[in-house]
């Protein structure tokens, strides 16, 4: 039986923390569950998952649908699209069976690339290599999640670049159904021809790249990494962009700032999945509204900056050891209105 290899290349950068990552994990499970009910898919579909953030790795090697177990997705700093494409090309080389004169190889693989941001590495060399050597051998569908996606780059990679906006209750379910339907359609069409048809796209849900957003939106969120003073475990604070009208008697303008969306415990492997170069942007804390508590120990604030420039949790004006540089720091109540600069990630 000839296999239909399906690769999911998933953006696990820090902006995906919380709901989005959970949705992607649940979505993958839902896709696999639905595919297993389809006899064509069950016979032919093999699935693999490549995760990428600052680095990229195969977290589920290509296996048949019945034996596939959706992996837990990691989280890291950075969106290294170039590195992800290199990992994908290496995986295509090593896992896909090629057709030879005396053997029928695999069907043309399908790749679903999901990303919610813009690359933090330079993906140009990888994109050129993809277009020169791989674009004809695989069907790549790039799906941008939300407004901050770099469609210019995705458009250079594939004609099948589309955007998904999760605006209404039930949209995500429809989206998952569409991915499933497109895999099923392709598993049915194999054997008929090499042309793969994508399932009809619900226009209200997906906008094909033919009409790209005229301008890439500003970054939708800011993420900051800290460590718990007591447990030394890392956490991630996420701030979402919010626009507010500020009106005075004489003029009106829109001010954008970032409001706290949540503070999430991180695994230590966050640092393994991160690209340190993607962490060097600075943000002024005065642009950030809201201070979360520590998700590990419950300390009052997770937003205390040590002199070493790193963030830690504290419970009030007190002395404590910085979990990063190990120095003793004392915090006083200063009503500093100007804020201070802290390093931030660029998932
Ligand atoms: Zn803590
Ligand atoms: Zn320190």
The pLDDT, as a whole number, for residue 2 is: 87
CB 299 within 8 A of CB 318: no
CATH topology of domain 4-208: Rossmann fold (3.40.50)
CB 259 within 8 A of CB 290: yes
Distance 231 CA to ligand 1 centre (A): 6
Mean pLDDT, 10 residues at a time, the chain of 347 residues: 93 89 89 91 94 96 94 93 98 93 89 91 96 94 84 89 75 83 79 53 49 59 92 94 73 77 94 78 77 94 88 88 92 59 59
The pLDDT, as a whole number, for residue 138 is: 93
Distance 336 CA to ligand 1 centre (A): 23
* Ligand nearest, relative to CA of residue 231: 1
* Ligand nearest, relative to CA of residue 226: 1
Distance 273 CA to ligand 2 centre (A): 22
* Ligand nearest, relative to CA of residue 293: 1
Positions of CATH 3.40.50.410 in the chain: 4-208
* Ligand nearest, relative to CA of residue 331: 2
Distance 272 CA to ligand 1 centre (A): 22
The pLDDT, as a whole number, for residue 272 is: 93
Distance 21 CA to ligand 2 centre (A): 30
Distance (Å) of CA 181 to CA 140, 241, 255: 16, 34, 42
* Ligand nearest, relative to CA of residue 294: 1
Q: Which of 278, 329, 274, 282 is nearest to 305 (CA)?
A: 329
């Amino acid at each position: 039986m000839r296999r239909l290899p399906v690769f999911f290349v998933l953006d696990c950068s820090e902006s995906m923390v919380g709901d989005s990552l959970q949705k992607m994990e649940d979505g993958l499970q839902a896709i696999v569950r639905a595919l297993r009910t389809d006899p064509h898919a069950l016979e032919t579909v093999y699935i693999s998952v490549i995760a990428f953030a600052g680095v990229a790795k195969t977290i589920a090697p290509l296996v048949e649908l019945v034996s596939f177990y959706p992996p837990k997705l990691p989280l890291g700093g950075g969106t290294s699209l170039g590195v992800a494409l290199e990992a994908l090309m290496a995986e295509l080389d090593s896992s896909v069976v090629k057709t030879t004169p005396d053997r029928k190889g695999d069907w043309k693989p399908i790749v679903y690339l999901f990303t919610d941001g813009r690359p933090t590495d330079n993906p140009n060399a990888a994109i050129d290599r993809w277009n020169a050597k791989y674009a004809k051998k695989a069907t790549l569908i790039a799906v941008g999640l939300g407004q901050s996606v770099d469609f210019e780059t995705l458009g250079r990679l594939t004609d099948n670049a589309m955007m998904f906006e999760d605006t209404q209750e039930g949209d995500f379910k429809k989206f998952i159904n569409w991915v499933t339907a497109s895999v099923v359609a392709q598993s049915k069409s194999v054997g008929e021809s090499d042309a793969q048809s994508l399932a009809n796209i619900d226009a209200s849900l997906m906008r094909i790249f033919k009409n790209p957003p005229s301008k890439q939106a500003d970054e939708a969120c800011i993420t900051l990494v800290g460590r718990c003073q007591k447990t030394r475990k890392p956490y991630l604070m996420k701030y979402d962009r919010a626009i507010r009208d500020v009106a005075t008697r004489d003029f009106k303008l829109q001010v954008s700032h970032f409001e706290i969306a949540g503070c999430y415990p991180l695994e230590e492997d966050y640092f393994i999945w991160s690209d340190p170069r993607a962490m060097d942007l600075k943000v002024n804390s005065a642009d950030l509204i809201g201070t979360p508590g520590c998700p590990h120990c419950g300390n009052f604030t997770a937003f205390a900056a040590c002199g070493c420039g790193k963030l830690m949790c504290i419970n009030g004006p007190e002395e404590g050891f910085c979990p990063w540089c190990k120095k003793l720091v004392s915090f006083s109540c200063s009503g500093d209105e100007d804020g201070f600069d802290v390093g931030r990630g660029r998932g």
